[in-house]
Structure 1
Amino acid sequence: MDKSYRQNFTVQYCFPGNNASCRKQVRSDPAYIFLFIFLSCISVCTVILNLLVIISISHFKQLHTPTNLLILSLAAADLLVGMFVMPVKIIQLKNSCWYFGDTACSVSEISTGCLAAVSLYSLVLIAVDRYIAVSDPLHYNTIITVCKTSLFIVLGWSVSVMYIITMYYFNDHLLPSQISTSCYGECVVIVKYSWVIIDLVVCFVAPCSLILILYLRVFNAARHQAKSVRSVTNAFSQRHKPARSPETKAAKTLGFVIFGYLACWIPYYLSSLTVESVKTSSVVSTVFSWLIYINSSVNPLIYAIFYPWFRTSVKIIVTCRIFKSSSSRFVLLSECF
C-alpha cells in the first residue's frame, strides 16, 4: 500500500489530546469545496439582500406602514439566519466537528428554531394584515396601526423564543449537560417523536392552514373588487384598462412568499414523520435544513421582483443618494405596494 493511500485513510480527531474526542471527517474533495463555496455565497447574498430590505423600510418614511413593519420583522429573522446560522452550519458541515463548546451548541440550536418560528409568525401576521386590508379597507387604518403592529411583532418574537425553549427543555436539550453526544466535539440534538408531532401541528399545520384560508379569502375578495372596478370603468370607457389595486398586487406578491415558505418546509416535516426521532446530524436532516435556510434568501428576491419600491430604494442606496439629508423623505412611488 503506497504512502498517499495510507494518508487518505489516516484517522483524525477533532481534539487529538482528548481520549473521548470525535473522529474528524475532513471533506476536501472538489465537489465538497464547490458546495462550501456555493453555500458561502448564499449566506453572503442572504445577508446583503435582507439588509437592503431592512435599510429601505427603516430609512424611507413612505415605507413606514404596518405591512412593511411585518416585512421588516421577517427580513430581520432572515438576516440573522444568513449572518449566524448559515456560517456555523457551513463550518460544521466542512469537517463534522463542533469546536465551540456545549453552551454554544445549545444556543445555536435554540436560535435556529426561534428564527424559524419568528419567520412563520411574521407570515401569519402578514396574512391577517392583508385579509383585513382587502375585506375591510374603510376601517383598515383604524384597525391596523403602526403601534399595534409593533406590539404584535414583539409579542411574536417573545412567544417564539418561549416555545422553542419549552420544546428543548422537555427534550432534555436545554442545558449544556443535557446535549446528547456520543463523543467530545459533537453538537447533536435529538427531538423526540412526540415533540415532532406537536411541532408539526403548532409550527406547520395550524399556522399554514390559517395562512392558506386567509389568502383564499384575500384572493376572492380581491377578485370581486377587480370585477367591480372593471364594471364601473367599462361603463365610462370600453377602451380603458383598469389597473390592479394595491391590495391585489400585495396579496399576489405575498402569496409567492407563502408558496416559497411552504415549498421549503414541507420536505422537512414529511421526512420527520418517517423516523422515531429527528437527529440534527443526519444527512436527510442536513439537506432539508439547508432548504429551510435558503428560504431566507428567497424572500428578498421576491420583493426585488414584485415590489417596485424595493428596486427604487436599492438604486438610491447603491448610488449613495441615501446619504443626502432629505433622502428619508424621498417619494419612491405613488403607492408603496
Structure 2
Amino acid sequence: MNYTDYRQNITVQYCFPDNNSSCRKEIYTGPMNILLLVFLSCVSVCTVFLNLLVIISISHFKQLHTPTNLLILSLAVADFLLGLFVMPVYMMGLVDSCWYLGKMACCVLPVINSLLSSASLCSLVFIAVDRYIAVCDPLLYSTRVTVCKTSLFIILGWSLSLFYITMCLYFNDHFLPSQISTRCDGECVVVIAYSWVIVDLMVSFLAPCSVILILYSIIFNVARRQARTVRAVKNDASNKQGIRVSSSAETKAAKKLGTVIFVYLACWIPFYLSSLPADSLISVSVIYTVFSWLVLINSSVNPLIYAIFYPWFRKSVTFTVTCKIFQSSSSRLNLFPKQF
C-alpha cells in the first residue's frame, strides 16, 4: 500500500479547537484506512476473545492445571492484555493524527506494550524448555517439572520483564514525560535511542529466538528418531503382509514445530530489521506503525498455535459457550475421556 494512498482524502482540523496551542488534526477517510481499521478491529477483538477463552478454560477446569498449561495461561494473559489495552489505543492513530491521552499516557503505553511483549516472549521460551524436557527426558519430567516450580518460573519471567523495562526507562530518558518534546497539544512522539534499539535486539529477539530455535531443533530430531524407531518396529511386524507404514508422526511434528518457528520469526524479524538502518526509532513513522502491528498480531495467533489445536481446548470452549461451567462440579469435568 502506497503511503500517498494511505493518506488520501485527508480533512484538516484541530485536535483541541478551543486550545490555541492545539495540533492540526488530519482525519484519515480513505477507503484503505477504513478497511485497515476494520481489519485491525477484528484482530483486536479476536485477540481478546481467544485469549480470554484460554484463560477461562485453564483457570476453571482442574484437569488443565498442569505445568504446560500454566505456561500457556501466562502467555494468554500477556496477549489478552495487549489486545485489551494496547491495540485499541494504537487504533486511535488510524482515525486521526491526534493524541488525546496526555504526556503521561504517551510514555506509559510503550512501557506497557514492551512489558507485555517481553512477558509473552518469556512464556514462549519457557514453553520451548518445557517441551524439550518432556520429549528428551520423559521419565523424569513429572519430577523435574511441577506446578509449583512452573508457577515460580512464571513469576520470575514477569519479574525479569519488569526489571528489563525499568532498566529501559533508566537508560532511555526519551520515555520520561518530561523528556517528550511536543510541538503542540495533541502530539505523541516517542524517540528510542539507537543504542537501546541494539540492546533490545539482543535481549528481546536474538536471545529468545536462539533458545527457541535450538530447543525446537533438538525436539524435532528426537521426535524424528522416535518416529523412525516406531516405524521400524511396525515395518518389521508387517513385512510379511507387505504393508508400508507412513511417517505421519514425523510429518505432524515437523509441521507443528515449523508453524511455531515461522510465525514467531515472521512477526518479529521485520520490526527489528526496519529499526537497524535508522539513527533512532520514531513512534509516528509509518514503518514503525506497520511492523509494530505485525508484532501485536502475533498475540492473536499464539492461542491458535498453543491452544486451539488441542482437543481439550475445543471441548472446554463448548462447555464455556454453553454456560455449563456455571454448573456445580463443572470444574472437575473430564476433558480427556479417551485417555481413561
Report if TM-score (shorter chain) is over 0.5.
yes
Deviations 1:60-107 (CA, angstroms, capped at 9, x unpaired): 122111111111111111101110101001113311111111111121
1:106 alignment partner AA: C
| 8 A contact 1:15–1:185 mirrored in 2 | yes
| 8 A contact 1:57–1:69 mirrored in 2 | yes
**Deviation, structure 1 residue 58:** 1.1
> Which residue in the other structure is 2:195 paired with?
194
**Deviation, structure 1 residue 12:** 1.8
Match of 1:309 among 300, 309, 312: 312
**Residues of 1 paired with 2:64 and 2:230: CA distance?**
26
> Which residue in the other structure is 1:265 paired with?
268
SS in 1 for 2:295: helix
**Deviation, structure 1 residue 34:** 2.5
Q: 1:254 to 1:322 in 2, by over 3 A?
A: farther
1:35 alignment partner AA: L
**Residues of 1 paired with 2:11 and 2:45: CA distance?**
34
| 8 A contact 1:62–1:329 mirrored in 2 | yes
| 8 A contact 2:45–2:83 mirrored in 1 | yes
Q: TM-score, normalised by structure 2?
A: 0.89
| 8 A contact 1:215–1:255 mirrored in 2 | no
> Which residue in the other structure is 2:110 paired with?
109
| 8 A contact 1:192–1:276 mirrored in 2 | yes
> Which residue in the other structure is 2:331 paired with?
328
Deviations 1:282-329 (CA, angstroms, capped at 9, x unpaired): 000001111111111111223465212111111121122222212212
> Which residue in the other structure is 1:185 paired with?
186
**Residues of 2 paired with 1:174 and 1:240: CA distance?**
62
> Which residue in the other structure is 1:42 paired with?
43
1:133 alignment partner AA: A
**Residues of 1 paired with 2:54 and 2:325: CA distance?**
14
**Residues of 1 paired with 2:158 and 2:251: CA distance?**
28
| 8 A contact 1:218–1:251 mirrored in 2 | no
**Deviation, structure 1 residue 11:** 4.2
Deviates more, 1:109-118 or 1:303-312: 303-312
**Deviation, structure 1 residue 24:** 0.8
**Residues of 2 paired with 1:268 and 1:29: CA distance?**
26
SS in 2 for 1:26: strand
SS in 1 for 2:20: coil
> Which residue in the other structure is 1:70 paired with?
71
Q: 1:112 to 1:202 in 2, by over 3 A?
A: same
1:122 alignment partner AA: S
The alignment yields a C-alpha RMSD, in angstroms, of 2.5
1:220 alignment partner AA: N
Task: Trace 1:135-150 onto structure 2 (pairs within 5 A).
Answer: 135-150=136-151
Deviates more, 1:325-334 or 1:209-218: 325-334
Q: 1:208 to 1:9 in 2, by over 3 A?
A: closer
Q: 1:76 to 1:131 in 2, by over 3 A?
A: same
**Deviation, structure 1 residue 335:** 7.7
Q: 1:13 to 1:169 in 2, by over 3 A?
A: farther
> Which residue in the other structure is 1:118 paired with?
119
| 8 A contact 2:216–2:257 mirrored in 1 | no
SS in 1 for 2:26: coil
Q: 1:267 to 1:9 in 2, by over 3 A?
A: closer
Q: Which runs of 5+ in 1 are unaligned?
A: 1-7
Q: TM-score, normalised by structure 1?
A: 0.89
| 8 A contact 1:86–1:293 mirrored in 2 | yes
**Residues of 2 paired with 1:204 and 1:143: CA distance?**
28
1:297 alignment partner AA: S
| 8 A contact 1:165–1:174 mirrored in 2 | no
| 8 A contact 1:257–1:302 mirrored in 2 | yes
SS in 2 for 1:12: strand
Q: 1:281 to 1:240 in 2, by over 3 A?
A: same
Task: Trace 1:137-286 onto structure 2 (pairs within 5 A).
Answer: 137-236=138-237, 253=256, 256-286=259-289
Q: 1:9 to 1:313 in 2, by over 3 A?
A: closer
**Residues of 2 paired with 1:331 and 1:32: CA distance?**
47
* Identical-pair percentage: 66
1:310 alignment partner AA: F
**Residues of 1 paired with 2:216 and 2:338: CA distance?**
22
| 8 A contact 1:14–1:24 mirrored in 2 | yes
| 8 A contact 1:229–1:242 mirrored in 2 | no
**Residues of 2 paired with 1:252 and 1:50: CA distance?**
23
Deviations 1:243-291 (CA, angstroms, capped at 9, x unpaired): 978x997886465233212111110001001111110110000011111
SS in 2 for 1:177: helix
Deviations 1:212-241 (CA, angstroms, capped at 9, x unpaired): 011100111111122223334445556696
| 8 A contact 2:190–2:283 mirrored in 1 | yes
